[in-house]
Amino acid sequence: MPKSVSPSPTGADGSPAAPNGATAPDWWASAVFYQVYPRSFADTDGNGVGDLEGVRSRLDYLQLLGVDALWLSPFFRSPMADHGYDVSDPRDVDPVFGTLADFDALVRDAHERNIKITVDVVPNHFSDQHPWFQDALSAAPGSAERERFIFREGKGEDGAQPPNNWPSVFGGPAWTRVPDGQWYLHLFAPEQPDLNWDNTEVIVEFADIFRFWLERGVDGFRIDVAHGMAKPAGLPDLDLPPEGASLTDQIEGDLRWDQDGVHEIHRGFRKVLDAFPGTMAIGEAWVPDDERLALYVRPDELHLTFNFELVTARWGATEFRSAITSSMAALAKVGAPCSWVLSNHDVDRHVTRYGGGSVGAARGRAAALLQLALPGAAYIYQGDELGLENVDLPDWALQDPTWKRSGHTERGRDGERVPIPWDGASPPYGFSSAATTWLPMPADWGPHTVESQLGDADSVLSLYRLALELRRSEPDLRTRAFGWQGAPEGCLAFRRGPQFVCAANFGAEPVAMPPGEVLLSSAHSASSVADGMLAPNTTVWLRA
């Protein structure tokens, strides 16, 4: 019966966190960030691909939703081999997304609404079409141009074998041979050559890229592959994990990632940001444990790092409790807040991960209230607030490089990147004026559109709006206080200060609700909370 978990040591001091949307220098510590994947958000020029004007045209919606900041996935000049994560000019907007003037207008209009703008920086690699790589290809082995990347001689007779056995994340070897016989490293697609962070030119170039966007008014950055830039000396072979290994087992001891040398690079980034008070950076670091993760947010490194534990945790009270406890304990040791994530453009949407259909939907709503009740920052991926599921796309529609490079065995990430449905009853649901969108939209998304959910008090969108409003208005939620409460088997409950309690039932049977006034329930209002019971797959916010 009630299992008591000792209060977490993390942040139980009740010290006030920055109010959301405020201009406090550490606004980011408790902010709700909304991830915009620009290709799929809103298309204003009718080419079936979203653009920056599309984001600007929907700022009223984002304000109504109640988010504090946007994170824009890459909109820089790119040949789009990895949909913008292959950058050929990091100081310009790709024509498919608009112009620098569009970007400036977006920053201005967002700031007028008190919404901050953060942008992606991709320091692990450039596009193979970036002038630096083109120069490297036409320069000789050993030249300064090649030194900006990772070129090596191959192994075996005539150097015909790759320099080591590293695989690329997208399938196939992480090395590609150039006509003069050398090989270059690409941890991702061949169109994404890795930069050599032992080269001062690279360091200076990225400091300048940061400053370019800071001077245009951005409030922060999301650092792509923050655990990837430093490579181990001598580039030794890997002990490859067995087929089907878990994500943690795959990255445990994988020399491609999380080398200690990466922290010096982040210290350098931090120095640049410190010259622009109130700006921040969050790292995308997939590392095997929270102790390693905490190293990225030491006081002289990044401000935040994604806590992916809620992405990897399976639906269940024990897994969620230990994910939360371990994240908070590790980051508290270095004095950093957590940044909670349920979904992003790289992972299956959480409603799908939780089983999809009505059960997945109920769990998705419950997970959202859990995520948003935790102390720290929260990242919402576009469409989370609409309860979207992954889309099962036909083979012909797949575009993620993973599909091709895996020899059509892994479908990749397109299913979570389908454009946002805004209004109407059939594709493209107001996303675009074009009949064909870059990824096809399903025929049954009518009930999921923003328009239909805005008018429905029971919708996922209404739940998010209410939750974000309470996050701002409930005094306890504006502190960093946190402590576990006893909860029945299959449930968890935590307190945020003297009054606010969040309780979730992951089990199959209803349980008695903890005492208090229900502020918000993830259950549809039809399945009322009046009987004093907490239904399965439900989270409630209570004032005790």
User: CB 542 → ligand GLC: shortest distance, Å?
Assistant: 36
Note whether 85 binds ligand GLC by CB under 6 A.
yes
> Is position 26 an interface residue for ligand GLC (rule: CB under 6 A)?
no
Which candidate, 514, 453, 517, places its Cα nearest to that of 484?
A: 514
Residue 110 DSSP SS3: helix
Shortest CB 97 distance to ligand GLC, Å: 16
Contact 82, 188 (CB under 8 A): yes
d(CA 294, CA 311): 17
Quote the CA–CA distance of 114 and 94 in Å, as a whole number: 26
Task: Sort 6 into a burial class: Cβ within 10 Å, 0-12 / 13-18 / 19+.
Answer: exposed
Q: Cβ closer to ligand GLC: 33 or 188?
A: 188
CA 398 to chain centre: 21
The tokens for 14 are 């009740």
Interaction between residue 185 and ligand GLC (CB under 6 A): no
Which one is catalytic: 249, 264, 289, 291?
Answer: 291
Instruction: Confirm or reject binding of residue 410 to ligand GLC (CB under 6 A).
Output: no
Q: Which is nearer to ligand GLC, 74 or 98 (CB)?
A: 74
Q: Which is nearer to ligand GLC, 285 or 535 (CB)?
A: 285
Check binding of 381 to ligand GLC (CB under 6 A).
no
* Residue 297 interacts with ligand GLC (CB under 6 A): yes or no: no
- Give the nearer residue to ligand GLC in terms of CB position, either 12 or 122: 122
| Residue 289 annotated among the catalytic residues of the structure | no
Supply φ then ψ for residue 59, to 5 degrees.
-65, -35
DSSP-derived letter for residue 120 is E
Which residue in the set 151, 188, 210, 320 belongs to the binding site for ligand GLC (CB under 6 A)?
A: 188
In the residue annotation, 224 being an active-site residue is answered as yes
| Distance between CA atoms of residues 223 and 285, nearest Å | 9
Residue in 259, 234, 149, 127 with CA at minimum distance from that of residue 197 = 149
Q: 3-state class of 308 per DSSP?
A: coil
Q: How far is the CB of 192 from ligand GLC (least distance, A)?
A: 6
CA distances from 157 to 111, 161, 181 (A): 60, 8, 12
User: How many Cβ atoms sit within 10 Å of the Cβ of residue 246?
Assistant: 10
- Of residues 45 through 74, those in contact with ligand GLC by CB under 6 A are none
Query: In terms of CB distance, is 304 or 502 closer to ligand GLC?
Result: 304
**Positions 207 through 236 that interact with ligand GLC (CB under 6 A):** 224-225
Residue type, position 306, single letter: F
CB of 150 to ligand GLC, least distance (A): 16
Cα 249 to Cα 16, 318, 324, distances in angstroms? 38, 20, 20
The catalytic position among 51, 224, 309, 385 is 224
How many residues contact ligand GLC, by CB under 6 A?
9
194 makes contact with ligand GLC (CB under 6 A):
no
> Taking CB under 6 A as the rule, does residue 12 contact ligand GLC?
no
List the one residue from 92, 201, 205, 346 that touches ligand GLC (CB under 6 A).
Answer: 346
**Near ligand GLC by CB under 6 A: residue from 82, 194, 254, 476:** 82
Closest alpha carbon to 150 in 136, 171, 131, 165? 136
487 binds ligand GLC (CB under 6 A): no
Residues forming contacts to ligand GLC in the complex (CB under 6 A) are 82, 85, 122, 188, 224-225, 284, 345-346
List, by residue number, the catalytic residues: 224, 291
